Amino acid sequence: MTYRDYLDPAYVEDFDDWAKEFVIPYEDMKGPAASRNWDSLRRLHDMDADGIAAEVVYPNTVPPFFATSSLASSQGAVEGARDLDYRWAGLRAHNRWLLEFCQDAPGRRAGVFQVMLHDVDAAVEEVQWAREAGLTGGVLLPGAPPGSGVPPLYRHTSYDRLWDVCEDLEVPVNCHGGGAGPRTGSTEIDDMFFLLDLRWWDITRFRHLVMGGVLERHPDLKVVLTESGMGWIPRELRKMDLVYESMRGKAGGDLAYDADSAIDGLSLRPSEYWDRQCYAGATFMHPSETAVRDQVGVDRILWGSDYPHLEASYPHSKAAIRTALQGVPVAEAEQILSGNAARMYGFDLEYLRKVAGDTGPSHDEVFEGVDPSTLPADAARCPAFAGLVEGAAKTRMGSNRGAAA
């Protein structure tokens, strides 16, 4: 079935017109890799082969009436009420398709549904529908950058109803890397600066939620920052704590200024909000990130493969796990690989242990480590192996120069 089958009938004719003009914008939605996004049986086969018992399914296609993924499109201003209406129709079609996609693999998929911030009442209704319907992956929080037509996330009068319903229904709020920044154009140099600025905007969204008082007012709200890396988290928390202390008049130096009224409502330091409510979706987890796990919080980290993206650790996820977690205590590895995600998204670990018994990896495999020289050359596309595979490839090339030629 296609998105067309999940649309309100009132939009089907216009969908057909839109589909005639639609051009696929992403390489991982083209060619032989494309069906990973929607072929349920193929996805299960790939998961089994890769040693993955269950997954959180993030949106990775273009919904009806969008030109690009909704993650990117939400960064641009909505062009009037009709445009907003059609985008909502497209997102609702995606969410209803996603529900059936997850139902195809009971207990093994937690789907992340989508909303828009331009209509908070509609977003609240969609959260309520998704939770009641059985989507357990939480909501994907769109960005609110300059030019998007929506207020910043710290403006509580606009968004408190959304935070309330997510808190009350225990719906995780997922912040995907790259979803918080504005686009300045479509040329190659625009793309370059967009990529260079991604992390800055991701961090800014996190600052807004913390320093803007969202987590203070909603102490049971859970926030997952995924595909943004982990190395920045300890540094940013130290910086935010310093700013906080400075604004309270408790720190000196070049960050000292009198702005206590801006954070009157905050009862905790920023790092304490992190410890209470925030999680890192550790896509492409690298040994350098494993080294800071205690500063991030072992109970805050959720390992991920980034399937079905072309840069995912698939089909080398077992090697990626061994690379990242070599030498990590068993109890910590279990939290990172399964326990934290099960707690966040409601997975049944007893059931998944049976699945994992057939797919692996075993305890021994996880902790045996990886000899970089044994990694295949195509693993180099995945950041989990950054700085490892290239050296291994050069070694193999040097010892097999004649064969390679």
Q: Average pLDDT, stretch 31-52?
A: 95
Domain boundaries, the chain: 3-37+55-283
Between 52 and 250, the higher pLDDT residue: 52
Q: What is the arithmetic mean of pLDDT over 112-125?
A: 96
With helix as H, strand as E and coil as C, how does the chain read? CCHHHHCCHHHHHHHHHHHHHCCCCCHHHCHHHHHHHCCHHHHHHHHHHHCCCCEEECCCCCCCCCCCCHHHHCCCCCCHHHHHHHHHHHHHHHHHHHHHHHHCCCCCEEECEECCCCCHHHHHHHHHHHHHHCCCCCEECCCCCCCCCCCCCCCHHHHHHHHHHHHHCCCCEEEECCCCCCCCCCCHHHHHHHHHHHHHHHHHHHHHHHHCCHHHHCCCCCEEEECCCCCHHHHHHHHHHHHHHHHCCCCCHHHCCCCHHHHCCCCCCHHHHHHHHEEEEEECCCHHHHCCHHHHCHHHEEEECCCCCCCCCCCCHHHHHHHHHCCCCHHHHHHHHHHHHHHHHCCCHHHHHHHHHHHCCCHHHHHCCCCHHHCCHHHHHCHHHCCCHHHHHHHHHHHCHHHHC
The pLDDT of residue 39 is above 60: yes
C-alpha count within 13 angstroms, C-beta hemisphere, residue 293: 22
pLDDT at site 390: 64
The pLDDT score that the predictor gives to residue 394 is 43
Residue type, 169: L
In the predicted model, what is the mean pLDDT of residues 356-363?
85
Residue found by looking up tokens 């985008």 in the block: 87
Higher pLDDT, 223 or 254: 223
pLDDT averaged over the chain?
A: 89
CA atoms of 136 and 132, how far apart (whole Å): 10
Per-residue pLDDT tens for 290-347? 999 999 999 999 999 999 999 999 999 999 999 999 999 999 999 999 999 999 999 9
Using CA atoms, how far apart are residues 288 and 296, in angstroms rounded to an integer? 13
Higher pLDDT, 189 or 69: 189
Mean pLDDT (whole number) for 277-293: 96
User: Residue range 57-81: average pLDDT?
Assistant: 80
Confidence label for 73 from pLDDT (cuts 50, 70 and 90): low
Cis peptide before 182 (omega within 30 of 0): no
Instruction: Give me the pLDDT at residue 252, please.
Output: 55
Residue 323, φ and ψ in degrees, nearest 5:
-65, -45
Q: How confident is the model over 70-82, as a mean pLDDT?
A: 70
- Mean of pLDDT values over 74-81: 70
Q: Tell me, what's the pLDDT at 206?
A: 96
CA 122/CA 37 separation, integer angstroms: 26
- State what percent of residues in the chain have pLDDT above 70: 92
Rounded Cα–Cα distance for residues 339 and 258 (Å)? 43
Using the Cα atoms of residue 344, residue 345, residue 347 and residue 352 in order, give the sign of their dihedral.
Answer: negative
User: Residue 291 and residue 349: Cα distance in Å, rounded?
Assistant: 26
State mean pLDDT over 57-64: 94
Q: Which of 47-56, 373-382, 391-400 shows the highest mean pLDDT?
A: 47-56
pLDDT at residue 128, as a whole number: 98
Give the closest residue to 117 by CA, choosing from 82, 89, 79, 75.
Answer: 75
Does the predicted TM-score (pTM) go above 0.95? no
Task: Name the pLDDT band for 182 (thresholds 50, 70, 90).
Answer: confident
Place 392 in a pLDDT band, splitting at 50, 70 and 90.
very low
Q: Given pLDDT bands bounded at 50, 70 and 90, which one contains residue 74?
A: low
pLDDT over threshold 70, residue 398: no
pLDDT at 68: 81
Residue 78: band (very low, low, confident or very high) from pLDDT cuts 50, 70, 90: confident
Mean per-residue pLDDT, 106-131: 97
pLDDT of residue 386: 93
With a cut of 60, say whether residue 97 has pLDDT above it: yes
Q: What are phi and psi of 55, to 5 degrees?
A: -145, 150
233-267 pLDDT, tens digit each: 999 999 999 999 888 876 555 554 556 677 888 99
Three-class secondary structure assignment of 195-242: HHHHHHHHHHHHHHHHHCCHHHHCCCCCEEEECCCCCHHHHHHHHHHH
Q: Does residue 46 register a pLDDT over 70? A: yes
Which one is predicted more confidently, 180 or 161?
A: 161
At the top level of CATH, which class does the domain 3-37+55-283 belong to?
alpha beta
The model's confidence at residue 405, banded by pLDDT at 50, 70 and 90, is very low
